[in-house]
Amino acid sequence: MTAAFLDVRSASKHFGGLKAVDDVSFAIAPGELVSIIGPNGAGKTTLFNLLTGQLAPSGGSVHFKGHDIGRLRPNQRARLGFGRTFQISQTLTSMSVLENGMIGAFLHHRGLEAAAAKAWSALEQVGLANRAAFKAGELTLGERRRLEVARALAMEPEVLLLDEVMAGLNQTEVQEIIDLVQRLNATGVTFLVIEHNLKVVRAFSRRVIVLNRGQLLAEGSAADVLANPEVIQAYVGKKGM
């Protein structure tokens, strides 16, 4: 059996007695677009933090292209091809929008002008080029989310982890992001997306992973998973969706 592209084995993260992520295993093939859903507090963001190295795992391992990356720091994983956005947007507020993009672009471009060019094209892709000269701190919440996507895009990642990027965006913006994700996915970028909006999930991902209380509840095609009584139970039990 060849090693999977991204292979998560029994990943666990405990905060004191709380098992935020508990023995979660799954594998992602290159070029997939997988949604991770689950009620609030299910452990989705913690799982992301384990994948990108923001948190040290309590147990389990993460393999990327056959290498154990569980001990690597976030910047080392970024170098391997992990890009991400944060649930609570983390922009570089005192720097300009263009410079935020450049920070991502510097991963593969040393020169300022090359990085600026890369950042500019990433900003164009998310529709923020007209804001390039603004300070990131001056942007609206929706713009900040798109800026984070642009920064991640400028890193030319192999795997892109998006943590609720649609939250706070309007209908048009959501559609633009969906189009962008699908376009990039078609060029070979693998996506892991945490998403609350089940309509969005249905619209674009073939595969869905459901977390509940830190554990993997279900996994499969969007249609199957969303029809799964346990999943409905978990959602309806939490909030009426």
Per CB under 8 A, 113 contacts another protein: yes
Q: Which stretch binds another protein (CB under 8 A): 28-36, 99-107, 164-172, 183-191?
A: 99-107
Minimum CB–partner distance for residue 149 and another protein (Å): 12
Quick one: which of 153, 105, 147 has its CA closest to 127?
Answer: 147
What count of residues does the chain have? 241
Q: Is the dihedral of CA 33, 39, 43, 49 positive or negative?
A: positive
* 172-231 residues near another protein, rule: CB under 8 A: none
Cβ–Cβ < 8 Å for 20, 57: no
* Residue 42 CB-half CA count within 13 A: 25
| Closer to another protein by Cβ: residue 91 or 212 | 91
* 41-60 residues near another protein, rule: CB under 8 A: 52-56
* Residue 115 CB-half CA count within 13 A: 18
Q: Which stretch binds another protein (CB under 8 A): 15-23, 26-34, 111-119, 179-187?
A: 111-119
Q: Which stretch binds another protein (CB under 8 A): 5-13, 25-33, 77-85, 182-190?
A: 77-85
Report d(CA 198, CA 203) in Å as an integer: 8
Interaction mask 119-148, another protein, x per CB under 8 A: xxx--x----xx-xx--------------x
Quick one: which of 62, 100, 104 has its CA closest to 83?
Answer: 104
Query: Applying CB under 8 A, which of residues 2, 16, 110, 240 lies at the interface with another protein?
Result: 110
- Amino acid at position 117, single letter: A
| Closer to another protein by Cβ: residue 4 or 95 | 95
Burial of 83 (0-12, 13-18, 19+ CB in 10 A): buried
Q: Which positions touch another protein (CB under 8 A)?
A: 52-56, 73-75, 78-79, 83-84, 86, 90-95, 98-99, 102-104, 106-107, 110, 112-121, 124, 129-130, 132-133, 148, 151-152, 155
